[in-house]
Amino acid sequence: MFLEILLKILSIFLLVGIGYFVYKIRLVPFDALKTLNAFVLNVAVPCLILQSMQRDEITDEVRRDILWSLVAFAIVTLVIAAIAVLVMRRIKSVPEDDKGIYSVQLAFTNCGFMGYPLTTVMFGQYGLFLAIIMNIVFTTFLYSIGVVMLLHKKGEKLFTMKLMVRMLSVPFLASIAGLLIFITGFHFPTFIDDTLTLMAATVSPVAMFIVGINLSNSKLKEIFTPRNLILCAVSLIVVPFFTLGVDMLLPISNFAMVIHVFLMAMPSAAITTVLCNRYNKNAKLAAEGVASTTFFSLGTLALWTFFLTKMFL
């Protein structure tokens, strides 16, 4: 089991290396970054959202898992986001413009890009189903609250009209449409669903490829800085333990709890790099955070999987 998950994480992490070296040897121009970002945010991610929000008929037991998975994920994400913002405001050594990046990377994990394939490998199709359910909260919050966290500056009012306008992105609108699809039980015709599935499959490799391109101007010592090492410790150890503590207070099933903790043990979301490029933030810093947390997750995810299965399944 340890080797299986290690190899799966390594295969995803190698996508970052491909992006890095392809740009270094100039097979892809840096100007392509803008086009790749637009593709991921405006085409691939909306397809992933719409495709994953479709659901089949559910039993009472599954309905209970769905309900408490949504509640638990929402509570943990909101609390971590609030704590991250409050803590970052008090740290004067971090540039004001970078505080939102660290906050977003602490609150939002790579629960889709890495979470889906790893959950399927380790916990089967029902585990993947619950991961997709939890991703409803993730996508809705990331493209609303996450964008506010990224763009908000000290002294500004929250949810100003200017900020609200900047939040109106294609992924955000797709998340709203996805919620309606989930609530109504709507299903796309097979040929459309197949197309959405194919497009959704491009999100993970292209997003990690973008991280690699952004890292091409970074040095190794810039990736493993003291700040990023702290980010790794909090993201990969503290956040999952906090999630476990909250879930144990809720009437959530052991299996759903294991999936939730496993998703929150993922490295920082690769999509934050794409969002930083979109909103002219420090994408290089975001990419360094994604790379460092992904690197250390090679070991921590395997340990979390072993711990969770032995203790709760």
Q: What is the amino acid identity at position 181?
A: I
Beta carbons of 276 and 286 less than 8 angstroms apart: yes
**Is residue 8 helix, strand or coil?**
helix
Whether the per-residue pLDDT at 161 is higher than 90: the answer is no
State residue 233's pLDDT score. 96
34 vs 158, more confident: 34
Percent of the chain with pLDDT over 70: 94
* Beta-bridge partners for 109: 268
pLDDT for 116 equals 82
Split at pLDDT 50, 70, 90, the class of 205 is confident
pLDDT top residue among 266 and 299: 266
- Phi, psi of 2, rounded to the nearest 5 degrees: -60, -45
pLDDT score at 81: 95
| pLDDT higher at 277 or 80 | 80
- Encode pLDDT of 130-146 as tens digits: 888 898 888 888 888 88
> 106 falls in which pLDDT band (50, 70, 90)?
very high
Residue 208: is its pLDDT beyond 70?
A: yes
Mean of all residue pLDDT scores within the chain: 86
Distances from the Cα of 201 to the Cα of 17, 122, 129, 276, angstroms: 19, 19, 16, 22
User: Which two structure tokens, joined as six digits, stand for 173?
Assistant: 């609108």
SS3 268: strand
Q: Find the range with the poorest average confidence among 73-87, 181-195, 203-217, 274-288.
A: 203-217
Confidence of residue 157 (pLDDT cuts 50, 70, 90): low
The pLDDT assigned to 166 comes to 58
Mean pLDDT within 279-297: 89
